[in-house]
Amino acid sequence: ATWDLSSEYPAGSLQGQTADFFAKAVAEKTGGDIEVTVHHGAALGYKSVDHFDAVGDGALQAASSAFVFWTGIDPIFQLSSLPFLAPTSADVHDLYELAKPEYEKVLEDNNQMLLLATPWPSSGLWGNKAFTSLADLEGVKVRTYDVASTETIKNAGAFPIQISWADVPAQLSTNAIDAVLTSPNGGVGVQMWELQSNFTNVNYASSLQAIHLNLDAWDDLSEEQRAAVKEAAEDAEDFGWGLLMEATAKDFDTMRENGMTVTEEIPAEFSQALTEAAQPFIDEWIADTGERAQSIMNAYQSR
Amino acid sequence: MTRFYSGVFALSRLAAVIAACALVYMVGHIAYEIILRSFFATSTFVLDEFVGYAISICVIWSLGYVLEHGDLIRVGLVLDRLPPRAQQLMTAGAALVACALSAGLAWMFWIRVARAWSRGTVSSSVAAVPTWIPEGALMLGLGLFALAALSHGLRHITGHPSPAPSTPLATPVE
Amino acid sequence: MDTLLTAAATLAFLLLFLGLGAWVFISLALVATSALFFLHGMDLSRIGSIAAGIIYRYSTSWELSAIPMFIWMGEIIFRTDISTRLFRGLSPFVDYIPGRLLHTNVLGCTLFAAVSGSSPATTATVGRITTRELGQRGYDDRLSLGSLAGAGSLGLLIPPSIVMIVYGILAEQSISRLFAAGVLPGLMITALYSGYIMLRAKLDPGLVPATRERRSAMDFLRALWDLAPLVVLMTIVLGSIYTGIATPSEAAAVGVIAAIAIAAVTRQLSLTLLRDTLMGALRTSTMVCSILITAAFMSTAIGYLHIPADVADGIASLNLPPWGLLVVLSLFYLGLGFFLDGTSIVVMSLPISLPLALQAGFDPIWFGVYLVLMVEMAQVTPPVGFNLFVLQGISGRSISYVARAALPFFVLMLVGVALLAVFPGIALWLPNFFYG
Ligand code: NA
Ligand code: NA
């Protein structure tokens, strides 16, 4: 069999590397029976939000998609991008394990299965100063990317602005925006040090990205092939989680080499204030999503 | 038949007026966004999403109107060398194929609209727009174009003149 | 070999449907459908699902929105006296330059490229304004259309540029650096075009109408006054971008509002004007955008057939030296350019061609500029060349006529690529000067 796997992100991104790793592992473990072609950078024309139905309908056999774009399909996909909920990599992993059955269920209801999920590096604030207190954020125009970040930044006293990622460099160089909320990896990718001098690791959220597979494509496989694909998915998942640590450390080094100041830790007081700024959105999300959200949150807090 | 042709064209023209309104809306929304950002340090947070909906209506809903005005271009390499009746029949054939494609696509959109409706899918912005609305608008636009293409095809078989006023957009030199 | 056969079959479908006289946007959708059905062996329901997904994605895309707005702005200029005044105002100043007002195409596109990131938008907006004025004044039609086709694509090379942003994101390169790198090559192409027009006008005086009058100082002053509306308009639009008030993607709306304001100040604004310009803009932009939308579907089909990736893989396996690689890559991109549109040429080939180029020692910023130039060329090569489609719509000339008119300018772009390869500093000097 040959599968087309679509991804919105560049081949060099963490998620691009994970997808390539998965494709290679599948080919090796099935002895070349299944050939996965990865189409990086939205080469097939699909964005993450389109992947959900494209894979369900079998327009694509597989895709690598960011959960943040699926929040309108099912609110459960908001969980991993809830702000300041899971500060460490271990927290992110625990949250993933707790929510996994819910993710799997939603995907299965839509004729597809979850093969693996890996995290994005946690977002931080790029700007021309370090942000270490709410006072530093006051009146700062921050480029945000979704409802959660917009609400949280607003509550924290800054001005959220939503513009497309493509317009960010121009808007920074004309000071139409002052700061950008994105991961170290996202900023290093566009060499943001040419426009910004500081990175503050506020540990906003490590949202998840999944590789998912059409169920008909899965049903067409033999028992051995299924086992091989499962195994490849597990290996790729380990690889993706492993990338996270190294990548962030390496990105911090790159930033410093290019003359940036990196603030790796923020004061506990500021961290507490940010968590409070995020709370209204989180509460609203739990109310909207219902019992399944509440039970995951309970399990997460009492683990 | 004349009544059918002019009826369909009236419908196409109405759709084009709506498409023109969508174009005006795009300009207005962007202007509003710029004012909010420059003077009030805020944003509508849905600019690219809503302008996206508007551009799709702007293009798809005006297809029939633009077709009947003869502005949708084609390659005349073979066509221009044929006798007039053959040209008409080729045009009719192309129009009927366009009708079939557009109707088929409208059907595919119907599947998406029905699913978005039953699943309650919304856009992931603050506006949380139910996605059956913009997808349904596209479906409707494609249906209207299928109708316009059908009428265009039949008109070329029966040899009726175009119901659209002849106002060439191109400014031929010479 | 299999891949080349698939590619040839796709091209055959394309020539067949276009040749039979189906509307271009319908032809492209038919090519995509036939290619997936016959060459990939997909069933119709899967093809339909792909088509609906891609067409929804692309027809609701923000990037598309600048096109109708810029065209509307062009319509307002066209239907008020702004355009007539522009040409009247320019006339005295270009009297002594061989080719005279023909340079308005090239310079107009270069200037407009500084606000528009898309090639069809640049060609359509400038072309709408200049073709009538030049035609009425008796300038050579073919040279006029050819220079428009060539210069319209400068929208991609001169910042802002959508293709460069896409390249920057995928290749993980600084977009500011890429934008800076595009400026000098863009001006170089402008100079090549203007030089060519001068040469042609010198060699064949019949291409340009004869001048009669001797001008007084008063004439020059009046000419400056005539230029004022357009200068004000461009200042507002450029100013909104470079002060950060508007993003480049929003500049089109600023242009529409500024043009309406100028029409109001010069007492030309009326409901009739608004209605006529709106409907005119709708007709041109629907023609352009419908083709762009189905072209996206065709690109997707070509992606499913793995054509670009397989050919690029083949090139990788040749293990060529840098110069050989550059020549082969250029041929590959020219070939892709026959049937793909701008951005998809970049996204489909980059995962393979970029590592190859980097390994051969090419600078990633330089390679981006080179790639944008290759994409520019694709805009003027038949059968799928967007500038050709736009100009066919605007002028009413056949596509083969427009393509022949564009040929010399295509050759000049090739010369530009060669110069860029021999002197990489043309691209790299400015970004290095700005950013070290
Ligand atoms: Na440009
Ligand atoms: Na081309």
Q: Where in chain C are the domains?
A: 2-12+31-435
Mean pLDDT of A101-111: 97
Burial of C212 (0-12, 13-18, 19+ CB in 10 A): exposed
C234, C111 Cβ separation under 8 angstroms: yes
Q: A208-257, pLDDT tens digit by residue?
A: 999 999 999 999 999 999 999 999 999 999 999 999 888 889 999 999 99
Chain C contacts in chain B segment 69-108 (CB below 8 A): 69, 71-80, 90-91, 93-94, 97-98, 101, 104-105, 107-108
CA distance linking residue A199 with residue A124, whole number of Å: 7
A44-58, C16-30, C331-345: which range is least confident on average?
A: C331-345
A117-121, A279-283, C88-92, C367-371: which range is least confident on average?
A: C88-92
> In angstroms, how far is the first alpha carbon of chain A from the final one?
42
Q: C218 CB contacts (<8 Å, ≥6 apart)?
A: none
User: Is residue A168 very low, low, confident or very high in pLDDT (cuts 50, 70, 90)?
Assistant: confident
Determine the distance separating the centroid of ligand 2 and the alpha carbon of A159, expressed in angstroms.
44
DSSP C309-344: HHHHHHHHTT---HHHHHHHHHHHHHHHHHH--HHH
For the CA of C163, the nearest ligand: 1
C162, C386 Cβ separation under 8 angstroms: no
Determine the distance separating the centroid of ligand 2 and the alpha carbon of B54, expressed in angstroms.
29
CA distance linking residue B141 with residue B19, whole number of Å: 10
Q: Considering only CB atoms, which chain A residues are within 8 Å of B128?
A: 72
Q: B81-138, pLDDT tens digit by residue?
A: 999 999 999 999 999 999 999 999 999 999 999 999 999 999 999 999 999 999 999 9
Q: Where in chain B are the domains?
A: 1-72+83-158
DSSP B66-100: HHHTT-S-B--TTGGGS-HHHHHHHHHHHHHHHHH
Site from A190, A255, A257 to mutate, C interface, most C CB atoms within 10 angstroms: A190
Q: C359 CB contacts (<8 Å, ≥6 apart)?
A: none
Report the pLDDT value the prediction gives residue B174, as an integer from 0 to 100: 33
pTM, to two decimals: 0.94
Please, how many CA atoms are within 13 Å of residue C83, restricted to the half-sphere of its CB?
21
CA angle centred on A125, ends A122 and A128, rounded to 5°: 150
Report the pLDDT value the prediction gives residue B97, as an integer from 0 to 100: 97
> In angstroms, how far is the first alpha carbon of chain B from the final one?
38
A187, A159 Cβ separation under 8 angstroms: no
A158, A139 Cβ separation under 8 angstroms: yes
Determine the distance separating the centroid of ligand 1 and the alpha carbon of C250, expressed in angstroms.
13
**pLDDT over 90 for what percent of chain B?**
76
Q: C150-194, pLDDT tens digit by residue?
A: 999 998 999 888 889 889 888 888 888 999 999 999 999 999 999
Report the pLDDT value the prediction gives residue C212, as an integer from 0 to 100: 65
Please, how many CA atoms are within 13 Å of residue B142, restricted to the half-sphere of its CB?
26
Q: Considering only CB atoms, which chain A residues are within 8 Å of C114?
A: none
Report the pLDDT value the prediction gives residue B172, as an integer from 0 to 100: 41
A214, A62 Cβ separation under 8 angstroms: yes
Question: Above 50 in pLDDT, residue B173?
Answer: no
User: Is residue A72 very low, low, confident or very high in pLDDT (cuts 50, 70, 90)?
Assistant: very high
Mean pLDDT of B64-75: 92
CA distance linking residue A143 with residue A291, whole number of Å: 33
C51, B108 Cβ separation under 8 angstroms: yes
Q: Considering only CB atoms, which chain C residues are within 8 Å of A47?
A: 57
Report the pLDDT value the prediction gives residue A303, as an integer from 0 to 100: 86
Report the pLDDT value the prediction gives residue B170, as an integer from 0 to 100: 59
CA distance A174 to chain C (A): 5
Residue A157, SS3? coil
CA distance linking residue A48 with residue A7, whole number of Å: 7
Determine the distance separating the centroid of ligand 2 and the alpha carbon of C284, expressed in angstroms.
20
Contacting subunits of B (3+ beta carbon pairs below 8 A): A, C
Mean pLDDT of B62-87: 91
Report the pLDDT value the prediction gives residue B104, as an integer from 0 to 100: 97
- C-alpha dihedral, C252 to C257 to C263 to C267, nearest 10°: 180
Residue predicted with more confidence, C408 or C116: C408
Look-up of token digits 């409901």: C271
Q: Which two tokens stand for residue C112?
A: 């407009």
Question: Above 60 in pLDDT, residue C117?
Answer: yes
CA distance linking residue A143 with residue C241, whole number of Å: 18
Q: C31-60, pLDDT tens digit by residue?
A: 999 999 999 999 999 999 999 999 999 999
CA distance linking residue A85 with residue A301, whole number of Å: 10
Site from C286, C290, C390, C392 to mutate, B interface, most B CB atoms within 10 angstroms: C286
Q: Chain B within 8 Å of C254 (Cβ-Cβ)? A: yes
Determine the distance separating the centroid of ligand 2 and the alpha carbon of C371, expressed in angstroms.
14
Mean pLDDT of A251-266: 94
Sign of the C-alpha dihedral computed for residues B151, C297, A209 and A217 taken in this order: positive
